[in-house]
A and B are shown apart, each in its own frame.
Chain A
Amino acid sequence: MTAETAVPPTAAYAADAVLTEVVGLLVEVVGDEILIATEIDRDSSFNEDLAVESIEFVALAEKLEARYGARVDFMAFLSEMEMDEILTMTVGTLVDYIAAQPAGEPGGEV
Chain B
Amino acid sequence: MADVQANGLRFHVQHLRGGRASTDRPTVVLLHGLVLDNLSSLYYTLAPPIARAGFDVLLYDQRGHGMSDGAPTGYDVDTAVDDLAAVLKACGVTGPVHLLGNSYGGLIALHAAYLHPESVASLILVEGQCLDPAHSGLRPAAGGYPGGWVEDVANTLNLIAIGLECNPLGGDLGSRGARKAARMRAGADTLLNQTTLIEDISTVRLLTPGELAQVKCPTLALYGGASDLVDSGPMLAGQLPDCTLEIFPGAAHALLRDAPKELLASVLRWLETHSPAAPQFTGSAGGYRLPASGGEGAP
| Residues of chain A having any CB pair with chain B under 8 Å | 37-38, 48-51, 53-55, 57-59, 62, 75-76, 78-79, 83, 86
Contact = CB atoms under 8 A, between A and B. Distances in A.
Interface string B1-45: 010000000001010100000000000000000000011110111
Majority-rule SS of A interface residues: helix
Contacts of B61: 55
Given A75-B16, A75-B51, A79-B52, A51 B179 contact: yes
A78 B40 CA distance: 12
Interface in B112-155: none
A20 to B, nearest CB: 21
| Residue among B44, B47, B176, B184 with most chain A CB within 10 A | B44
Contact of A58 (B14, B45, B51, B257): B14
A58 B67 CA distance: 10
B43 A58 contact: yes
Contacts of A57: 40
B296 to A, nearest CB: 29
B38 A48 contact: no
B274 interface: no
Nearest to B180: A51
Contacts of A83: 44-45, 257, 260
B241 to A, nearest CB: 35
B67 A59 contact: yes
A37 B176 contact: yes
Contacts of A49: 176
9 contacts: A50-B176, A55-B40, A58-B14, A58-B43, A59-B2, A76-B52, A79-B48, A83-B44, A83-B45
A58 B61 CA distance: 12
A35 to B, nearest CB: 13
Given A51-B180, A75-B16, A83-B44, A58 B39 contact: yes
B43 to A, nearest CB: 5
Contacts of B184: 53
Contact of B39 (A55, A76, A78, A86): A55
Contacts of A62: 2, 14
- Nearest 5 Cβ contacts at the A-B interface: A79-B48, A54-B40, A51-B180, A51-B176, A55-B40
